[in-house]
Chains A and B, each alone.
Chain A
């Protein structure tokens, strides 16, 4: 398995580990009978925390994992990012966008069908998680397939 695939697996675990407690906290807070304005503010804080923490966990985790892999292996890790890496990144980000857009329009559909605004944010939260997982799975798929 390539180094980048190992880092992608770590990123999936890291993102999920950040998402679960934050989502539980936000869900509990928003089901406590708070008015809609308060709920929106709580969800906004949730998304900002989620973004910040997931970026921090991914960056710190990637640096640590690179150090470990470099110590264990003979080959240097990430010395070059070449055309194939950029192509794989473009494909992975494209898949991320597809899933995230699907979640966004699913949220819009829920509103049109008369569901509560809170459900919209639940859809956004899960589409963000799913899009992140698809992003890293795309990396693993392309690196392991050899493309």
Chain B
């Protein structure tokens, strides 16, 4: 089931010199599988992890993550 939280992690990894999932995982203190699951909207990260990811890309939280509750209701 897809999460109600969408993200732009793939895009920001791309514009940050094609940062790998492994590198982002190391910089945020989680496993690569967690980054993979988050990026593909299969896992809603905790608020702390969301802030960590936003901090890596030096962007505000709402620029990386957005909330779409209506899409979850349809699924």
- Is B30 in contact with A83, judged by CB distance below 8 angstroms? yes
- A146 CB to nearest chain B CB (Å): 3
Contact A82:B30 (CB < 8 A) given known A75-B22, A146-B37: yes
- Is A82 in contact with B37, judged by CB distance below 8 angstroms? no
- In Å, the complex CA distance between A82 and B29 comes to 7
- A5 CB to nearest chain B CB (Å): 10
- Is B29 in contact with A2, judged by CB distance below 8 angstroms? no
Contacts of B45 in A (CB 8 A): 83
- Is A146 in contact with B43, judged by CB distance below 8 angstroms? yes
Give 1 or 0 for each of A127-147: 1 = CB within 8 Å of chain B CB: 000000000000000010111
- In Å, the complex CA distance between A79 and B34 comes to 13
Interfacial residues of chain B within 27-57, with CB under 8 A of chain A in the complex: 29-34, 36-37, 40, 42-43, 45-46, 48-49
* Contacts A82-B30, A145-B42 supplied; 7 other A-B pairs, CB < 8 Å: A75-B32, A82-B29, A83-B34, A85-B31, A146-B37, A146-B43, A147-B42
Q: How many residues on the B side are at the interface (Cβ–Cβ under 8 A)?
A: 17
The total number of A-B Cβ pairs within 8 Å is 37
Contact of A80 among B29, B37, B42, B48 (CB under 8 A): B29
**Residue from B33, B37, B48 with most neighbouring chain A CB atoms (10 Å):** B33
Q: Give B33's nearest chain A residue, CB to CB.
A: A2
- In Å, the complex CA distance between A145 and B34 comes to 12
- Is B42 in contact with A84, judged by CB distance below 8 angstroms? no
Contacts of A82 in B (CB 8 A): 29-31, 34, 49
**Residue from B25, B31, B34, B40 with most neighbouring chain A CB atoms (10 Å):** B31
- Is B34 in contact with A84, judged by CB distance below 8 angstroms? yes
- In Å, the complex CA distance between A82 and B36 comes to 13
Q: Give B32's nearest chain A residue, CB to CB.
A: A75
30 A-B residue contacts at CB 8 Å? A2-B33, A75-B32, A79-B31, A80-B25, A80-B29, A80-B31, A82-B29, A82-B30, A82-B31, A82-B34, A83-B30, A83-B34, A83-B45, A83-B46, A83-B48, A83-B49, A84-B30, A84-B31, A84-B33, A84-B34, A84-B37, A84-B43, A85-B31, A143-B33, A145-B42, A146-B37, A146-B40, A146-B43, A147-B37, A147-B43
